[in-house]
Structure 1
Amino acid sequence: MNMDFLGSLLLAFSMYSALPVPNVSWNDRRMRYAMCFFPLVGVAEGALLVLFLRLFAGAGAGRLFLTLGGTALPFLVTGGIHMDGYLDVADARHSFGSREEKLRIMKDPHLGAFAVIGAAVYLLLYAAGLSEIADPERLLAEGGFRGAYAMAGLFAAERALSGLSLMIFPMAKKDGLAAAFSSGADRGKTGLVLVLWLALSGMWMAGMGGMSGVLSFLAAAGSFLLYRRTAVRDFGGITGDLAGWFLERTELSGVLLCAVCAIFGL
């Protein structure tokens, strides 16, 4: 059983991160609990962000270095898998076609104009928000890491919500990555673990992130409801690409709210 859980852990990291872990084969036992460890990828991402900001802000790095480095870090950790879904959904939604046409566009490996525009706007807004969280003067002041702590918790919370969506949301199709993880999971135990992850993440965000954490957590909950509404209405259910779209949108809303809190001293 311990080896099965270790295999599930390694499967989650190898699938949803670019962090170096031993390769493991897919099997029914490992798929059963893989989503339980998905939020742990967010924990690793958050820990690396806080470590990066602490190390280089303390060493005297400038605002631009901290901002651009912090913006790039999530993509370095995940390998861009969630942004890929975000861009596919941007193209599909802006086609204003039928459900079948939107699903076809998401499967197309080529990027359209709206994906390129979406990527540019996303990165600009993310960097703008992070520039307030990663301001060296704020970081080195008392309580300066509240925004970074809130984001660290959000990385885990949004993945717990994403995992829960596989347990309770309808699937748009019977094949694909999302359907594979949904059908292979032990829904009862996995759902319980993910709810626990969500509760722990929320407590961390409120305790360590203050108002930044509270607002980001509430925004994540709102984003979750919007995710279901959009997925069911426009696509007939969720897919792996839509899961990536949800994660990136939630993360962007969090970083912008943390920025607003930093600006107004909340």
Structure 2
Amino acid sequence: MRHELILLLVATQFLTRLPLPALRRFDPDWLHQSSRHFPAVGLLVGGLCALAYGLAQHVFDPLVAAVLATALGIYITGAFHEDGLADTCDGLGGGLTRERALTIMKDSRLGTFGTLGLVLALLLKIALLASLAPAAAMAALVLAHGGSRLACISLITLLPYGGDLEHAKAKPMAQRLTPGQWWLASLWLLPPLWLLWNRFPPGAWLLAGLLAGLATYHLFRLQKRRLGGYTGDGLGATQQLVEIAIYAGLAAQL
């Protein structure tokens, strides 16, 4: 249990900028092991965003509350996933070969495809959240942030690493997960699903799950075909697309 708590701390330090106590020692393999707790970090980020939305909606209209909640999520994560989305759009949009796509994705400059992808993603998230009732929007934030991190775990389980391993920023994350680790990660979503099940009709759950699955499969197929496997930026793009898909499924039925 103590080791799992350490791994949870490592996962939170990796995915967020929350002020946390430093570890006395660090084993690089812990980063790989900590990925099974990524959904838990997503639930934490989503919970904080939901709290911000709940407080803001008492003062502002739903659109402003949605903007503030989205901005807080970006601040907490340091735009970690948004950066991956932009780089993936630039790389896959502008690179005709695998080598060229990876080169573009390493470039810190933002191109046309990345700008458009990032702007559209933010607009969709804000608009979908604003279309929901406050209680439903808060529940959606928790579920989408947690569920989208599980989608990232799915790609690490199903695909090999497709980037340049020698220049990978987090080499331990280039290792594949076992199915058992994936199932362990999925257990984090059971409590919020049980607590929030009655917030949405069955059709909303079905559509959200379907769209999330399609988004995950799209990024799986795209990265496998174009890059030969997942990359860190591709995981960020997966998180963003699946988060939007969950919002869309829940909002469409309401």
Q: TM-score, normalized by length of structure 1?
A: 0.83
Q: Residue by residue, what CA displacement relative to the aligned partner does 1:148-180 show, whole Å, maximum 9, x if unpaired?
A: 313311211121221232122121033425652
Structure-2 residue corresponding to 1:228: 220
| 2:108 is the alignment partner of 1:117 | no
- Gapped regions of structure 1 (runs ≥ 5): 140-144
Matches within 5 A, 1:27-66: 27-28=27-28, 30-57=30-57, 59-66=58-65
CA contact (8 A) 1:172 1:236 kept: yes
Report Cα offsets for 1:114-147 as digits up to 9, x if no partner. 21222222222222222212xxxx43xxxxx234
Equivalent of 1:192, from 183, 187, 190? 183
Letter in 1 for 2:188: W
Segment of structure 1 superposing worse, 239-248 or 212-221: 212-221
1:157 maps onto 2:147 in alignment: yes
Distance 2:89 2:174 in 1: 24
Classify 1:148/1:214 alpha carbon distance in 2 versus 1 (closer, same or farther; 3 Å): farther
> Hey, what's the Cα distance between the residues in 1 that align with 2:243 and 2:124?
11
| TM-score, scaled to structure 2 | 0.86
Equivalent residue runs for 1:22-171 within 5 Å: 22-24=21-23, 26-28=26-28, 30-57=30-57, 59-133=58-132, 138-139=133-134, 145-171=135-161
SS at match of 1:35: helix
Deviations 1:155-211 (A, max 9, x none): 1112122123212212103342565224286x3552231232355565556443334
Give the secondary structure class of the aligned counterpart of 2:200.
helix
The number of residues matched between the two structures is 250
Residues 195, 97 of structure 1: alpha-carbon distance in 2 compared, 3 angstrom cutoff: same
Tell me if structure 2 keeps the 8 A contact 1:5–1:30: no
Q: Kindly, what percent of the aligned residue pairs are identical?
A: 26
Q: Which letter does structure 2 place at the counterpart of 1:33?
A: Q
Q: C-alpha separation between the residues in 1 aligned to 2:158 and 2:102?
A: 20
What is the root-mean-square deviation of aligned Cα atoms in Å?
2.4
AA paired with 1:129?
Answer: L
Q: Residue 236 of structure 1: CA displacement?
A: 1.1
Report if the CA contact (8 A) 2:160-2:176 is conserved: no
Amino acid at match of 2:37: F
SS in 2 for 1:94: helix
Q: Within 5 A, what are the aligned runs for 1:196-207?
A: 196-198=187-189, 203=194, 206-207=197-198
CA shift in 2, pair 1:74/1:215, >3 Å? farther
SS at match of 2:19: coil
- Segments of structure 2 that go 5 or more residues without pairing to the other structure are none
Deviates more, 1:228-237 or 1:23-32: 23-32
